[in-house]
Amino acid sequence: MNIALLGFGVVGSGVYEWCRDREDLNVTRVLVRSPKPAVADISTTDFNDIVTDPAIDIVAEVMGGLHPAYEYVTAAMKAGKHVVTANKALIAAYYTELTSLAREMGVGLLCTAAVGGGIPWLVNLARVRKLDAIERLGGIMNGTSNFIMDAMHAAPVSFPAILKEAQDLGYAEADPSADIDGDDIRRKLVISANIAFDAVLEEEDIPMFGIRTVTDSDIATFKAKGFTCKLLATAAAAEKGVCAYIEPTLVSADALEAAVPKNFNLITYEGVNMGRQSYYGQGAGQMPTAANVVQDCLTILGGERGFYTHNATPMALDGENEAHPYYVRTSAPDQWLEDNTAERWETGVVTGAVNTYEMLAWAKKQLTVDPALFIAGIA
């Protein structure tokens, strides 16, 4: 099959390298914004050269962003071309439209690299769905936030200092908001939950709390109590829909999540009959991420069409039955917090079991009173 790459950055050049010596997948066109000597003979700055070329079978979108990626991807599918993408923002934002269009046109739409980078998470999630029902999924889904939390547990270091190191190493962007506040994870969680539960969740509706305000004093307290703090995503089947949220979470120091180092990910599902299965590996990186793009191309070459699931039903967020204790550090405790406090730790308080959605709503409001607030669920 002939592949056209939209973009030739880190991932795009990795896809090119993976395909270079293959006979079954050939990169024949590359859309670029500026000259790229490595692909000068096959590059173009005009997307029409790709969408109107009948010899191109697969369009691999690795440029990122919503626009013009959305316009390019929809045009490609309408032209009867299969689409592979690493763009989580695109899939999360236009989930219903893109998956419906793929079914309508009878083309493949795969995005394994969009969730977990080099981890074959989505393909295995879809695979187990054919046999078992998923009760719960989630875990560590962002390498930047895990790098920061891992470093803060390894040695006393302030959040601003380790964030700067992450930026210097290329793990964090100049504007790290998407990673440390949870937006990146939320997009990955939306895609995963939609596939697991045949759902359509609205990204902006899922509550979250990030790690921006964690301190080295918080971490020292957690370690003294036998806990490790990780930024975790959770989605679970609920009576009235899906319960989904993102929050810092204190896990036992001997839990699998506690052992995940540096910028690695650990993503887990729990099946009714299969039980727990976890997938560990590089959540980013050129060749691991590009490998999943190429694997998706091979899946299409093998005859697969459509998306990972054929069903997409809009579902409500239902956190009614989700509750657990929380660690809370705030300089402005209110009556609600006092009423729910069960014990006091060196740097904060611990609540009794509190409804997760209620706590995350309280924390969002409390940040306007105390911008240094930090909370963490206790698993």
Catalytic residue set: 188
Contacts of 311 (CB under 8 A, 6+ apart): 198
Q: How far apart are CA 82 and CA 80, in angstroms?
A: 7
Q: Which two tokens stand for residue 308?
A: 């990972």
Q: How far apart are CA 45 and CA 15, in angstroms?
A: 19
What is the helix, strand, coil percentage profile of the chain, to 5? 40, 25, 35
Given a contact cutoff of 8 angstroms between Cβ atoms, the answer to whether 31 and 44 are in contact is yes
Q: How far apart are CA 185 and CA 288, in angstroms?
A: 19
Q: Which two tokens stand for residue 127?
A: 């695979």
Separation in Å, CA 352 to CA 15, 328, 378: 50, 11, 10
N residues, the chain? 379
Please state, as a whole number, how many other Cβ atoms lie within 10 Å of the Cβ of residue 31: 23
Q: How far apart are CA 292 and CA 85, in angstroms?
A: 10
DSSP 159-211: HHHHHHHHHHTTSS-SS-HHHHSSHHHHHHHHHHHHHHHTEE--GGGS-B--S
Q: How far apart are CA 116 and CA 269, in angstroms?
A: 14
CA 232 to chain centre: 11
